[in-house]
Structure 1
């Protein structure tokens, strides 16, 4: 299920105009420091959709005409879009506080389509805003809050509306909802990155005990122990060249042979990859060619849901390192079946070590390309699903 960042605009993305609380000219637009770079990284590396939710008091009245507002608003969106920061939807309430509109934050009238839709993971979503009304919006929709303030004391300089809500709120509940208090967007990104979803998958049989954790949009960090030295080395190449964070621990019956360990690693790795990957908004296809001295390897991958391996590789040695060469096909076949993906692998060359190492590196680069977010949330399939 998709997680959402419900973002306020004024005071959160751009700085608040404290004189009349209206951003109605170019001169009044001042973006928060690092907000653009941080939102860009959030969309690239984390699994969130952006939804803007803003109160614009009296929009459409003589004091705040709509023609001035929309020119400035669209200019702000254009700047963000130039950095591939695109909002799934934008919700703006025009009412005053005394009108008690159900659409005015912290009321939830504008957001009902997200609250009763099992496509969205509201519990792990956030409201990010600079007002107490944003914190209360998080409470009312059942998610968490990141509270932005220009000063260290988040309870000073309340508006009259905030004072009203604060005096009628349960302070303990508010503190539980607020997961971070900061006006530093880099810290917001770092916090969201730190808590990003990781999945740990275990597969236990009478032959092996496999435990794998995976972060598809990681930094290329790894800790791998399969009990097979050269196989460890090859799996490390996947992490380094795909930037996935991979932890693998396997206790297997290597005293018999390597078959069960390598097969079950491929099965488990494919399963966790398939469970963790959100296919909405990914490029789907990945392809890469890598030379390594005398060898040239090519890997093409389609994450479209079909499981098929085309293996055009010949080895002329029984083993490379401590791994039987026949097991390389078996690893990729097991991964393809569990991850439900189509993989084409072709390699030519003389040095067998170079051949298989370039295959694993190429496989990693193809995955990196295929899982890349395209920022449109489109599914690249005429069927509408992968």
Structure 2
């Protein structure tokens, strides 16, 4: 399900110009500070589609002829597109407030197509500077990010509405700011994905942030497994929290297997759409006497090729035969092809270099490109 940022234009992407508030000359186009830089980062790093929703009072009338509007509007979109900022759709209402049109914000007549199972409105946001944007988010069933610039002129009617509807503000407004960097950081934190797997043998809780910095908090009850997963988080740049409570009084099998299953599942869930990802990853890591190579395809089919031999029964408190099982569980539930080959004498170096190479290959495969296309010439990935 796609998450949407419904973004207002005037006062949000470009500055408003009182007293008429009409952007009817090119000289009036003044982009909001840092909006292009941080919108570009949002498009590149976060999983949202952009939809512009704007009220343009009296557009098409003698007071605001379309021949003045469209060259300027298209120029704004062209500047954004040049920086890789593409809008999935642009919705423009031309009516006056007193007409009370159902197509005018906060009305949702223009946006009915988004009430569809393809879109996740609960995790979407309206970004705008007006009270009508906040009410629009309420009517859509999502939250609002309020561009609240204290220097922006507010109509008396607008100020009156704000004083009367503080309860709505508290319930609907998720963030109030006049800074696009703050908006980007807020949305990035919201990009956490959670998964929990509970059986009679284990209870696994995982949260990840694909576009992270490699931070981790890992507690599985198996010290060496914690170390390897921390290496995976660090080298993949995936923020990762894993808490595993398993029947270690029996043995390590269930905890390691279910951690692999859960990690594969959450990676699969986080890239279900797969549009715009690189899909393939490959990396080799040398570590003293060892050389490990991992090749990964997130194409939707499960397969593991494992060419690794260990000389020890255990490394730390983890049985070496469980490493194959961990990656097999991951491959099955992430629905990926995974090729792992390692040579060397030191088993500790061998498995650590495998996890590092795996992390780098995963990082490469989930990386976003500029196309936003499905990475398949068939037009379909399972």
TM-score (normalised: structure 2)? 0.89
Q: How many residues align?
A: 380
Given the alignment of the two structures, is residue 319 of structure 1 paired with residue 295 of structure 2, yes or no?
A: no
SS of the counterpart of 1:123?
A: helix
- Per-residue deviation, residues 308-335 of structure 1 (Å, max 9, x unmatched): 1111223344333333322211110011
Give 2:205's aligned residue.
211
Q: 1:159 to 1:288 in 2, by over 3 A?
A: farther
Rounded Cα–Cα distance in structure 2 between residues aligned with 1:375 and 1:55: 30
Give 1:284's match in structure 2, choosing from 275, 279, 297: 279
Please tell me whether the aligned partners of residues 203 and 268 of structure 1 are also in contact (alpha carbons under 8 angstroms): no
* Matches for 1:74-89 after TM superposition, within 5 Å: 74-89=74-89
Q: 1:328 to 1:138 in 2, by over 3 A?
A: same
Rounded Cα–Cα distance in structure 2 between residues aligned with 1:385 and 1:20: 50
Cα offset, 1:100, TM superposition: 3.6
Rounded Cα–Cα distance in structure 1 between residues aligned with 2:40 and 2:315: 43
Q: 1:287 to 1:159 in 2, by over 3 A?
A: farther
Rounded Cα–Cα distance in structure 2 between residues aligned with 1:167 and 1:145: 14
- Could you tell me which runs of 5 or more consecutive residues in structure 1 were left unpaired when the two chains were aligned: none
Please tell me whether the aligned partners of residues 49 and 88 of structure 1 are also in contact (alpha carbons under 8 angstroms): yes
Give 1:235's aligned residue.
229
Cα offset, 1:199, TM superposition: 0.7
Please tell me whether the aligned partners of residues 196 and 203 of structure 2 are also in contact (alpha carbons under 8 angstroms): no
Please tell me whether the aligned partners of residues 201 and 272 of structure 1 are also in contact (alpha carbons under 8 angstroms): no
Give 2:327's match in structure 1, choosing from 332, 346, 349: 332
- Could you tell me which runs of 5 or more consecutive residues in structure 2 were left unpaired when the two chains were aligned: none
Please tell me whether the aligned partners of residues 128 and 147 of structure 2 are also in contact (alpha carbons under 8 angstroms): yes
Q: 1:96 to 1:256 in 2, by over 3 A?
A: closer
Rounded Cα–Cα distance in structure 2 between residues aligned with 1:215 and 1:372: 13
Give 1:307's aligned residue.
302
Given the alignment of the two structures, is residue 101 of structure 1 paired with residue 101 of structure 2, yes or no?
A: yes
Give 1:150's aligned residue.
149
Give 1:384's aligned residue.
380
Cα offset, 1:356, TM superposition: 1.7
Rounded Cα–Cα distance in structure 1 between residues aligned with 2:163 and 2:252: 65
Rounded Cα–Cα distance in structure 2 between residues aligned with 1:293 and 1:284: 30
Given the alignment of the two structures, is residue 136 of structure 1 paired with residue 132 of structure 2, yes or no?
A: no
SS of the counterpart of 1:5?
A: strand
- Per-residue deviation, residues 36-70 of structure 1 (Å, max 9, x unmatched): 23223323343321110111223334443434433
Give 2:22's aligned residue.
22
Please tell me whether the aligned partners of residues 36 and 83 of structure 1 are also in contact (alpha carbons under 8 angstroms): yes
TM-score (normalised: structure 1)? 0.88
Rounded Cα–Cα distance in structure 2 between residues aligned with 1:234 and 1:223: 12
Rounded Cα–Cα distance in structure 1 between residues aligned with 2:163 and 2:234: 52
SS of the counterpart of 1:346?
A: strand
Calculate the aligned-residue CA RMSD, in Å.
2.6
